Homo-oligomer: A and B are copies of this chain.
Amino acid sequence: DRPLALIAGPCALESRAHAMEMSHALVELTGRLGIGLIYKTSFDKANRTSADSPRGLGMEKALPILAEVRERWGCPVLTDVHSAEQCAPVAEAVDVLQIPAFLCRQTDLIVAAARTGRPVNIKKGQFLAPWDMANVVEKMDQAGNPNTLVCERGASFGYNTLVSDMRSLPIMAETGCPVVFDATHSVQQPGGQGKTSGGQRQFVAVLARAAVAVGVAAVFMETHQDPDRAPSDGPNMVHFTDLPAIVETMMAIDRIAKALPAGG
């Protein structure tokens, strides 16, 4: 078992300056702590609760910035795609494509992402049982791409609430794919603020601890220097100043979890 990696960054690509500043800070922090980083940010928030909410920079302006992050810091970059057409151009600028949870069953999108040859991180739909991710992975395999990451981000639990079932981590691991735990969206309260989604930032570290103790390849955790003013997912992003302690805790639990016998 390889040590825990971190997929982190601000939810949305706000500007070139913000992206360079955040990625620099994350590269510096993770280098100091000794944990692998994949920088995550989104160029389009394609499924906002309300049409009034900001969407993001858009693909054309964003891809050069993502490529610049990658080149400047030598750090792999991940972003999400929302249509089959986006996959090829996005794959030129970033290292890992991500399929949003609502779209995890859209066959054309999965196939287009697979055909780029890039690793693809697929979020498990809030409506999907963990064992059903095997069918999603098979779609990737049949399209000739064995590099799937499977990602837990919470399951629907009544209205406007998600619950993280830690059993899903070993169940999804049976696919043979690396398992990612998205600690940010697992504490989302979808639609919970009427025209935007709410979140429970205080439980990000709680669920991350739990997932790492069970055993995962990576934790996904959005962060921002001022989350309460962020254009999206503010309520569930971690303050950048809180990130070091959370990451150190996860690393310590990961070391012991992976050293212990699997059956224990």
CB pair B46–A108 under 8 Å, yes or no, is yes
Closest B residue, CB atoms, query A160? B129
| Cα(A252)–Cα(B264), bound, Å | 11
- Chain A residues with a Cβ closer than 8 Å to the other chain, count: 75
Render A172-209 as a binary contact track against B, CB cut-off 8 A, 1 for contact: 00000000000000010011000100001011011101
**Is A103 engaged at the interface, CB distance under 8 Å to the other chain?**
yes
Whether A156 touches B156, Cβ cut-off 8 Å, given contacts A127-B125, A135-B49, A213-B209, is yes
A residues 98-120 touching B (CB-CB < 8 Å) = 102-103, 105-108, 110-111
Render A75-104 as a binary contact track against B, CB cut-off 8 A, 1 for contact: 000000011100000000000000000110
Q: A163-B165, A166-B166 are known contacts; what are 15 more A-B pairs with Cβ within 8 Å? A: A51-B135, A51-B142, A83-B108, A102-B103, A102-B125, A126-B126, A128-B191, A135-B191, A135-B195, A166-B207, A170-B202, A170-B206, A213-B213, A213-B257, A245-B264
